[in-house]
């Protein structure tokens, strides 16, 4: 039975079963909650973004090239996860592994940049306790970074099982939901680079 399912993948395998449908809907509900979570962190950050305390001001702190590179990496990884889902719709297992694998690598590159960035900031006196700006900054950007790390672990876990389990109506919703999560992380980053970095640079 399992071989039959895997060779005859339905057109929309992520929603071919009731369980798959419910999984996708449930995940959207989770994303609705995430919108509120990040929204409240954004509101806090916007309200406190000029309370520099003893730390440096955002205009001198932020480096636009570093943020631009991080943004490019994350936007590109979002494209790769879409290509991974399209490979899944074509029942192309090696394509799924390739595109989601690259997505994970780009996610790791983004995390590396973020860790380097935080190290630099701490050396410049911008810490969690240097002022309300510092607290709000690390809470918001750190929460996003933790989501990226979560996504990297999640997708890696799915990919490690995929060669054995294959593409079917059980594994397809899992991949689809992981790609939704990855796009959502990217969506949050769009607002982080706009509100935190670009608006911080403008002052």
Binding site for another protein (CB under 8 A): 1, 4-5, 8, 10-12, 15, 25, 28-29, 31-36, 38-40, 42-44, 46-51, 64, 67-68, 71-72, 75-76, 78-79, 82-83, 86, 89, 132, 180, 183-184, 186-187, 190-191, 193-195, 198-199, 201-203
Least CB distance to another protein at residue 79 (A)? 5
- Which is nearest to 74 in space by CA: 202, 185, 169? 185
Per-residue buried b or exposed e for 160-178, using 16+ beta carbons within 10 Å of the residue's own CB: eebeeebbbbbbbbbbbbb
Q: How many CB atoms lie within 10 A of CB 60?
A: 11
CA distances from 18 to 15, 22, 135, 162 (A): 7, 6, 43, 21
Interatomic CA distance for residues 152 and 52, integer angstroms: 32
Of the pair 73, 158, the CB lying nearest another protein is at: 73
């Amino acid at each position: 039975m399992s071989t039959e399912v895997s060779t005859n993948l339905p057109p929309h395998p992520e929603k071919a079963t009731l369980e798959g449908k419910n999984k996708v809907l449930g995940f959207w509900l989770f994303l609705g909650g995430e919108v509120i979570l990040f929204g409240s962190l954004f509101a806090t950050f916007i309200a406190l973004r000029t309370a520099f305390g003893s730390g440096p001001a955002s205009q001198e702190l932020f480096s636009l090239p570093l943020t631009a590179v991080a943004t490019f990496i994350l936007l590109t990884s979002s494209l790769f996860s879409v290509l991974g889902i399209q490979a899944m719709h074509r029942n192309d297992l090696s394509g799924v592994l390739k595109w989601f694998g690259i997505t994970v690598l780009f996610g790791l590159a983004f995390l590396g940049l973020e860790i380097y960035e935080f190290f630099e900031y701490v050396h410049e006196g911008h810490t969690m306790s240097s002022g309300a700006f510092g607290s709000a900054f690390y809470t918001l950007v750190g929460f996003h970074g933790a989501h990226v790390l979560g996504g990297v672990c999640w997708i890696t876990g799915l990919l490690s099982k995929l060669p054995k389990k294959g593409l079917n109506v059980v594994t397809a919703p899992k991949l689809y939901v992981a790609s939704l999560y990855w796009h959502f992380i990217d969506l949050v980053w769009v607002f982080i680079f706009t509100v935190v970095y670009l608006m911080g640079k403008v002052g």
